[in-house]
Amino acid sequence: MQRPRNDRAWFLVLPVVGIVAFSALIPLMTVVNYSVQDTFGNNQFFWNGIGWYKELLDPTTDLGGRFFDALWRNLLFSFLALVIEVPLGIAVALAMPRSGWKVSATLVLMAMPLLIPWNVVGTIWQVFARPDIGMFGAAVNRLGVPYNYTQDPLSAWVTIVLMDVWHWTSLVALLAYAGLRSIPDAYYQAARIDGAKGFSIFRNIQLPKMKRVLLIAVLLRFMDSFMIYTEPFVVTGGGPGNSTTFISIDLVKTALGQFDLGKAAALSIVYNLIILAICWVFYTVMTRADARENG
């Protein structure tokens, strides 16, 4: 006998739906509303249609040129972060202990950088990388290498990349370590029987078994690095010049510095769509990889 269907439990979900609508949908619709209007102050808005979007997506305009320049900086920064942090995180995970009290101590030490707020990380590196009194900046200059992140774009990029590597490599290492700990000992025993050692075990056993957690790590790190704002803003403010001005920094400057709410709203909508598209690509790759393994 089929049990009667009870839909009254859905009433328990209504408060959550209301909170999500209030905290997400309403602000989103407000931004969409601003993106099709222009303002000259005093809360006077004028209809502009898709004019800001046309200007934003046209690289020959000032707004479009700034947007595409910042977009390439974002992509370059995310690429550098992934290229450095993923292999480094895997290497750290492989070197971490597997048993004893050292496991707990190592996990605590690895988690410490992740607990530091983003603005504090920026402040730490702002002082740490100072060319006159900073431990890192002064040491590099004493080695004869010219370094000043406030004047040299290359030095600024080196600083924010090292800062991100220091802050977030632990996340990749912890995820990779969790993947390594989930591998049954039977795989290693079979590998030893077959005479496999070192890199052969890593390539044929450890790396395939870590694939899922590494995809998650790549997704998390790419999205976080692509949306980075606080750390480079605290350290460089987007400079010197516009060399470290990412989309998020340009967005805040447009909205709060210039008070161009229409341009800033259109920029935030396009920025959000890019992030959603990248998330969809990563999700598709992950689901197809799982389907091939389970199929």
Mean pLDDT of the chain: 87
pLDDT in tens, 65-113: 999 999 999 999 999 999 999 999 999 999 998 888 888 899 999 989 9
Q: Which of 247, 284, 266 lies closest to 48, judged by CA?
A: 266
Beta bridge partners of 45: 39
Q: Which of 89, 231, 226 lies closest to 160, judged by CA?
A: 231
Residue 5 has pLDDT above 70, yes or no: no
**Are the CB atoms for 247 and 63 separated by under 8 Å?**
no
d(CA 142, CA 259): 43
pTM as predicted: 0.88
Q: Which of 176, 169, 180 lies closest to 224, judged by CA?
A: 169
Residue 8 has pLDDT above 80, yes or no: no
pLDDT in tens, 221-249: 998 999 999 999 999 999 898 899 999 99
d(CA 108, CA 64): 45
Around Cβ 211, how many Cβ atoms within 10 Å?
14
Write down the pLDDT at residue 189.
84
Q: Which of 202, 179, 180, 205 lies closest to 190, judged by CA?
A: 205
Write down the pLDDT at residue 42.
67
Write down the pLDDT at residue 66.
93
pLDDT band for 290, please (50, 70, 90 cuts).
low
pLDDT in tens, 11-69: 788 888 888 777 878 888 888 888 998 877 667 788 888 999 999 999 999 999 999 99
Query: What is the biggest distance separating any 2 CA atoms in the chain, rounded to whole angstroms?
Result: 84
Residue 241 backbone dihedrals phi, psi, to 5 degrees: 70, -125
Domains of the chain, each with CATH number or no CATH: 7-49 (no CATH), 64-294 (1.10.3720.10)
